Chains A and B, each alone.
Chain A
Amino acid sequence: GIQVEQSPPDLILQEGANSTLRCNFSDSVNNLQWFHQNPWGQLINLFYIPSGTKQNGRLSATTVATERYSLLYISSSQTTDSGVYFCAVLTFSGNTPLVFGKGTRLSVIA
């Protein structure tokens, strides 16, 4: 099956710093989602981005489907950005559901 790798696995930032999270996937995908899991376990949708670039406030994402990777940019990080960021992909094969990476655990320190 498709493999999804995220890097780095852990990241510690000073408040106000910028960061880039990466997601590599091993096969063609139909779609890709980025999530933020807060400390209570809730998965919050950040982006639904099969290709191209999207921006939402301090967050932006770029997916280059032909090269099988996606990037999540966080600018001017805040302590509330802490948590785990997951990339998940949907493959082209019928009803195959989201395949998740292991996540990047982000800690933003004041």
Chain B
Amino acid sequence: ETGVTQTPRHLVMGMTNKKSLKCEQHLGHNAMYWYKQSAKKPLELMFVYSLEERVENNSVPSRFSPECPNSSHLFLHLHTLQPEDSALYLCASSQRTGYEQYFGPGTRLTVT
């Protein structure tokens, strides 16, 4: 595997489910990010991790819970989501924060 990978690519979940999105980067980077892309909206940053420590949290609802166990892996744990949380969730990584970012293919999430 090369670059940034994300699984699953598509996810349909009910409002009472709990699921997790996974991101893995194979670039030797030290910073990882979660972004949300809703229809007709600019990409929004959700979380930033640098060297496995969260450095930014853009007022994201607590039903989204990130986890960064090491510099290569990033998870987004989801629980009791709302239909308006349906979106494309993109993971990115960079050598350090402030450097060029590389994106994964995204997980398209539908909340029913």
Contacts and interface: CB of A to CB of B under 8 A. Distances in A.
Contacts, number: 51
Contact of B103 (A40, A42, A103): A42
Given A40-B105, A41-B106, A43-B90, A97 B100 contact: no
Interface residues of A, number: 21
Contact of A98 (B50, B101, B108): B101
B100 A31 contact: yes
A45 B55 contact: no
A30 B100 contact: no
A18 B10 CA distance: 35
A48 interface: yes
B43 A97 contact: no
B98 A31 contact: yes
Contacts of B20: none
Interface of B: 33, 37, 42-43, 45, 48, 50, 55-56, 88, 90, 92, 97-103, 105-106, 108
